[in-house]
Amino acid sequence: MQPREVLTLSPRKVAYLKFLHEKNSGARTGEIAEHFAVDPSTVTKAVGELARSGLVVHQRYLGVTLTEEGQECAEFLIRRHRILGLILTHYGLSGEEACREVERFESYVSRDAVNRMCHSLGHPTRGICGSITHDSRCCSLHDGEENV
Ligand SMILES: [Zn+2]
Ligand SMILES: [Zn+2]
C-alpha cells in the first residue's frame, strides 16, 4: 500500500484524525464537535469527506472509526507533529510553545520532508508530547538518498 500524500488533508481533518487515533475507539460526531468546540454540521461534512477518501468509517452505532489506512495516516500525522516539535525545541522554544507553534503549520509539511527530518534526527522515539512510532518508509531512508 502506497502511503497517502497527506498534503490534501486540511488542518481540521488532521486534528480529527489525530483525535480519533488518540481516542482509540469510535467517536460520535457530536463528541468530536464538542471536543473542538465547532458546529456538529462542520464535523459531519469533514467526516463525510474523510469517509469518501477511505480514512474513516461512520456507522450509526459505533460512531466514527479509523480504517486501517486511516490508522496509518494518523500515526504519520502524530509523528509529523512530534518531529517538527522536536526541531523547534532545538531552536529555543519550550515544549509547550513548540507544540502550539507546530499546530499552526504542520498540515503544510509533506510526508517526504518529515521522513527525511526524522532520519536526520536518528528516528527519535520520544517527542515532547508523547512517543513517536516510525514506519518502514522513514526507516528505510539512507544517507545521501534523495527520495524513496
Ligand atoms: Zn505536541
Ligand atoms: Zn523515522
Distance from the alpha carbon of residue 16 to the mean position of ligand 1, in angstroms: 15
Q: Domain range spanning residue 61?
A: 9-66
Cα 39 from Cα 12, distance rounded (Å)? 13
Distance from the alpha carbon of residue 60 to the mean position of ligand 1, in angstroms: 31
Distance from the alpha carbon of residue 52 to the mean position of ligand 1, in angstroms: 28
Same domain, 52 and 83: no
Same domain, 51 and 82: no
As given in the structure block, the three cell numbers for residue 80 are 509529523
Residues 4, 69: contact at Cβ < 8 Å?
yes
Same domain, 60 and 102: no
Distance from the alpha carbon of residue 80 to the mean position of ligand 1, in angstroms: 10
Distance from the alpha carbon of residue 147 to the mean position of ligand 2, in angstroms: 14
Same domain, 57 and 77: no
CATH code of residue 37? 1.10.10.10
3-state secondary structure of 56: strand
Res 14 pLDDT > 60:
yes
Structural domains in the chain (count): 2
Q: What pTM was computed for the model?
A: 0.89
User: What residues contact 99, with CB distance under 8 A and at least 6 apart?
Assistant: 81, 85, 128, 129
pLDDT tens for each residue of 81-115: 999 999 999 999 999 999 999 999 999 999 999 99
User: In the chain, pLDDT over 70 holds for what percent of residues?
Assistant: 93
Residues 95, 65: contact at Cβ < 8 Å?
no
Same domain, 108 and 135: yes
Q: Output the CA angle 81-95-131, nearest 5 degrees.
A: 50
Same domain, 120 and 88: yes
As given in the structure block, the three cell numbers for residue 101 are 507553534
Same domain, 134 and 81: yes
- Confirm whether 50 is domain-assigned: yes
pLDDT tens for each residue of 41-71: 999 999 999 999 999 999 988 899 999 999 9
Same domain, 78 and 119: yes
Residues around ion ligand 1, judged by CB within 5 A, are 99, 129
Q: Please, which residues bridge with residue 108 across strands?
A: none
Same domain, 28 and 86: no
Same domain, 61 and 91: no
3-state secondary structure of 59: strand
